[in-house]
Amino acid sequence: MAISRRDALKYSTILAASTAMAGSTNTSNPKVIKSNNKARIADTNKPRVVVVGGGWSGLSVAKYTKIFAPNSDVILVEQRHEFISCPMSNLWLVDKINLEYLTHDYLQAARNNNYTYFQATATGLDKTNNILHTSNGDINYDYIIFACGIDYDYSRWTNDIAFETRLRQDYPAGFIPGSEHITLKNKIKNFKGGNFILTVPSGNYRCLPAPYERACIIADYFKSKKLDAKVILLDENNTVTIKKKGFESAFNELHGDYIDYQVNTKILNIDLDKKVVTTEFDDIEFEDAAFYPHVRGARILEFAGIAKDAKNMLEGDINPLTYEVNGYNNIFISGDSRPMGFSKSGNTANSEGHFVAKLIASKVNKTAPIKWESPTTTCFSCVSLNPERDIYIYSNYKYDKKSKSFSFTNTSSSEDWKKDGKVNADSVYKWADALYKDMFS
């Protein structure tokens, strides 16, 4: 069973530019694409704030910068024509929600919040003359924020570009919205049985609970179809990275016949022709898979010359309390490309965007600098479909001046899916509705 033509058409508008910021993970001598043309954006005497990236952070920064600094000229530069949400998308994979629920209108967000949406791909940055190069012309800025998300890093598995391309194309991770999700949904719907491999990378990958949620959802779906199938979850970590109690009980009590969870499991080799994964412990045959590699900052950070190689994650080189790129007080990085150990998730990025907007507004308005504010991680994860039951966690962060590091604080959770699962499942839709409203209304 394939996805509907209607859904496929819905996604098609974002596919043309899907590799513009992703590309190969070969980072040597990145080529900056410069434009000799000025972008078709009206000149202004107002302080211009350019936001690169229209995800959960970028949308929040654009909206609230205009609210906190109404005299600013805010431009959101985004390569996609429409917004597709990665949060909640696991439920779309098994038809619990429709595509319309994930799809939102950048033009509507810009109209409602009095900023400009400019469809283009960022290609480079002239930091001396304050010019952003894009595929549709150059844009001058007074302040610029990069909220451009992640890319994948396949280098721990291969340095062969052709093999990496096969992994991206035939077995995509499904954590960058777009064509990957269509492919993954078709894989799930067309699966006839056998081993379906999912992987969990180590490090601060995008959305810590999502691979575990996905395993539960796929296992539940296979069970509903009475397939002779197994979801093999290969985790590089020594345990479930978040919501451990809830996920482990779901694995054992709900999906014991369908999930084979393996910890401390690093992949040594992937043979795509024979369909065999070799780990330190075993050779595992598979019928299909979605290989989630390590993540890193989006490649535009390299093209712009603002990336820092932190254990090869190539995230932004910023002051963690002010989000300013080191050496530049008018360039900022927020969202999943920032180097702090915050969760790379929707609610975290959105709440962080509110604070970054305040920082920028204080500069535009020439008011006193403001103190650091913690982002908020609010996260629901589905562990069963019929009935739909979720587990939940909430947390803020605190900064230790001595160690110059962040840690969780004010954490609360609801991981008893037997007791609270239905209430949590109802709450996740209220949460999503509220966040979509915050970004687009």
What confidence category does residue 310 fall into, taking pLDDT thresholds of 50, 70 and 90?
low
- The residue-averaged pLDDT of 222-247 equals 97
Does residue 438 form part of some domain?
A: no
- Identify the domain containing residue 54 by its residue range: 5-151+298-364
In the predicted structure, residue 232 carries a pLDDT above the cut 50: yes
User: What DSSP assignment string belongs to 227-259?
Assistant: --EEEEEEESSSS-SSSHHHHHHIIIIISTTTE
Q: What is the rounded CA–CA span in Å between residue 214 and residue 231?
A: 10
pLDDT of 28? 37
What is the rounded end-to-end Cα distance, in angstroms, of the chain?
36
pLDDT of 36? 66
In the predicted structure, residue 64 carries a pLDDT above the cut 50: yes
In the predicted structure, residue 30 carries a pLDDT above the cut 80: no
pLDDT of 18? 37
Does residue 111 form part of some domain?
A: yes
Does residue 275 form part of some domain?
A: no
In the predicted structure, residue 263 carries a pLDDT above the cut 90: yes
In the predicted structure, residue 326 carries a pLDDT above the cut 50: yes
**What's the CATH code of the domain at 350?**
3.50.50.60
Portion of the chain with pLDDT greater than 70, in percent: 91
pLDDT of 315? 86
Does residue 188 form part of some domain?
A: no
Q: Are 56 and 83 in contact (CB under 8 A)?
A: no
pLDDT of 24? 33
What confidence category does residue 297 fall into, taking pLDDT thresholds of 50, 70 and 90?
very high
What confidence category does residue 32 fall into, taking pLDDT thresholds of 50, 70 and 90?
low
Portion of the chain with pLDDT greater than 90, in percent: 87
- Number of structural domains in the chain: 1
pLDDT of 346? 95
pLDDT of 12? 44
Four-residue CA torsion sign, 173, 174, 178, 179: positive
Q: Are 248 and 240 in contact (CB under 8 A)?
A: yes
Does residue 383 form part of some domain?
A: no
Q: Are 245 and 269 in contact (CB under 8 A)?
A: no
Q: What is the rounded CA–CA span in Å between residue 407 and residue 290?
A: 31
Does residue 22 form part of some domain?
A: yes
pTM of the model: 0.89
Comparison of pLDDT for 278 and 178, the residue scoring more? 278
What confidence category does residue 309 fall into, taking pLDDT thresholds of 50, 70 and 90?
confident
pLDDT of 77? 98
Does residue 103 form part of some domain?
A: yes
Question: Mean pLDDT over all residues of the chain?
Answer: 91
Q: Output phi, psi for 432, to 5 deg.
A: -65, -45
Does residue 212 form part of some domain?
A: no
Residues 190-207 have pLDDT tens digits of: 999 999 999 999 999 999
- The residue-averaged pLDDT of 266-283 equals 96
In the predicted structure, residue 416 carries a pLDDT above the cut 80: yes
Residues 153-193 have pLDDT tens digits of: 999 999 999 999 999 999 999 999 889 999 999 999 999 99
